[in-house]
């Protein structure tokens, strides 16, 4: 899990958060990180940076 459920609930305020939301959000974040890592590697870098998003 790459996200903190409590932080999600805090962010959405008075709305409810579905039980599967954090899991799916974590999967999306994982996908973005993998994509950024691949881009950094393709450019010969060992540092993933914001430009890789």
Q: What are the pLDDT digits (tens) for 1-53? A: 899 999 999 999 999 999 999 999 999 999 999 999 999 999 999 999 999 99
Range of the domain at 41: 5-52
Which pLDDT belongs to residue 40? Answer: 98
Which pLDDT belongs to residue 14? Answer: 96
45 sits in the region (left: phi over 0; alpha: psi -120 to 50; else beta) called beta
Which pLDDT belongs to residue 38? Answer: 98
Which pLDDT belongs to residue 51? Answer: 96
d(CA 40, CA 31): 14
The number of folded domains in the chain is 1
Q: Which residues contact 19 (CB under 8 A, 6 or more apart)?
A: none
Which pLDDT belongs to residue 49? Answer: 97
């Amino acid at each position: 899990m790459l996200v903190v459920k409590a932080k999600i609930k805090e962010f959405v305020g008075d709305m409810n958060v579905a039980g599967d939301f954090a899991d799916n959000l974590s999967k999306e974040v994982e996908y973005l990180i993998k994509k950024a890592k691949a881009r950094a590697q393709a450019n010969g870098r060992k540092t993933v940076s914001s430009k890789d998003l």
